[in-house]
Chain A
Amino acid sequence: SQQGEEDPQALSIQEGENATMNCSYKTSINNLQWYRQNSGRGLVHLILIRSNEREKHSGRLRVTLDTSKKSSSLLITASRAADTASYFCATVHLGSSGSRLTFGEGTQLTVNP
């Protein structure tokens, strides 16, 4: 399976702290994307990082990509209670058809007020 793996499966922090989630994958990729899912809802795209990029920022989000280790991390700084959600990484693999994504199993983030 090419499915990515997220680590940790669950993370509980206090408001204002930083949250770091990691993702590993098995085969070479074109790009890696992070999505957020609130309970019982659809996924919302957060950020996309291409295989030739090492770091990307968007507001309070920072994503890094290490293709040599086949891993990525998502950092959320100064977390808020509203950041409570599941976070998924998804990869587009080299040679895959179109924009087919392979999802990890997600990290459940709880931010306590």
Chain B
Amino acid sequence: DGGITQSPKYLFRKEGQNVTLSCEQNLNHDAMYWYRQDPGQGLRLIYYSQIVNDFQKGDIAEGYSVSREKKESFPLTVTSAQKNPTAFYLCASTPREGSQETQYFGPGTRLLVL
């Protein structure tokens, strides 16, 4: 069963804590993306990676970090420097580096601050 999985579905963060959101894909896609969605709004790009061991900042990278050690995995860490982390986080992928094709999305992780 191919697709993109994100875990957990809900995540709670305490102040000053770093938390990591998981994104895994078995579609053999090269490029992966992380977006943030606030209520009633569109998606904003946090980070993206077009190939293993390489990634670029998106429009709102401050307070976030990523790694891309494996093709299948692109975890996102929300650091304590992100002062307003409450949002819905979506991971996506596309088949080929540099392609302009559609993106395939995971089901999302909702992050809440305690």
The reply to whether chain A is a binding partner of chain B is yes
CB-CB < 8 A to B58: which residues of A?
A: 100
Query: Does B41 contact A98, Cβ atoms closer than 8 Å?
Result: no
Query: Does A45 contact B99, Cβ atoms closer than 8 Å?
Result: no
A99: which of B90, B94, B105 is its contact (CB, 8 Å)?
A: B94
CB-CB < 8 A to B100: which residues of A?
A: 30-31, 92, 98-99
Given the contacts A31-B100, A99-B98, A100-B48, A42 and B106 also touching, CB distance less than 8 Å: yes
B90 CB → nearest A CB, Å: 6
Give the total number of A-B pairs whose CB atoms are below 8 A apart: 67
B54 CB → nearest A CB, Å: 11
Cα A43 to Cα B42 with chains together (Å):
11
Query: Does A45 contact B102, Cβ atoms closer than 8 Å?
Result: yes
B42: which of A40, A45, A48, A103 is its contact (CB, 8 Å)?
A: A103
For the complex, is A84 an interface residue (Cβ under 8 Å from B)?
no
> What does the 1/0 interface line of B82-114 toward A look like (CB < 8 Å)?
000000101010100111111111111010000
Residues of A32-56 whose CB lies within 8 A of B: 33, 35, 40-45, 48
Query: Does B107 contact A98, Cβ atoms closer than 8 Å?
Result: no
Residues of A98-113 whose CB lies within 8 A of B: 98-101, 103-106, 108
Q: Give the total of B residues in contact with A, Cβ under 8 Å.
A: 31
| Contact size range, A | 20 to 34
Query: Does B102 contact A98, Cβ atoms closer than 8 Å?
Result: no
CB-CB < 8 A to A108: which residues of B?
A: 40
A41: which of B33, B50, B104, B107 is its contact (CB, 8 Å)?
A: B107
- Which residues of A are at the interface with B, using a C-beta cutoff of 8 A? 3, 30-31, 33, 35, 40-45, 48, 88, 90, 92, 97-101, 103-106, 108
